[in-house]
Structure 1
Amino acid sequence: MITEIAQIKIHPGHEKQFESAVAEAVPLFPSADGCHGIDLHRSVEHPSQYRLMVRWETVEHHTVTFRASEEFARWRALAGPYFTAPPQVEHVRSVLAQ
Structure 2
Amino acid sequence: MFMEVAEIQVKPGTETAFEAAVQAAVPLFQRAKGCSAMRLERSVEQPSHYSLLVQWATVENHMVDFRESADFDEWRKLVGEFFAAPPQVGHTATVVKGF
Alignment pair present for 1:57 and 2:57: yes
Tell me, which stretches of 5 or more residues in structure 1 are unaligned?
A: none
Q: Which residue of 2 aligns with 1:86?
A: 86
Q: Which residue of 2 aligns with 1:3?
A: 3
Deviations 1:22-62, CA, capped at 9 Å, x for gaps:
00001100100010010000000000000000000011100
Q: Summarize the alignment of residues 5-44 of structure 1 with structure 2, pairs less than 5 Å apart.
A: 5-44=5-44
- The sequence identity of aligned pairs, in percent, is 52
Cα RMSD of the aligned pairs, angstroms, is 0.5
Tell me, which stretches of 5 or more residues in structure 2 are unaligned?
A: none
TM-score normalized with structure 1 length: 0.98
SS in 2 for 1:72: helix
Report the Cα distance in structure 2 between the residues aligned to 1:86 and 1:75, rounded to whole angstroms. Answer: 14
Moved over 6 A (4+): none
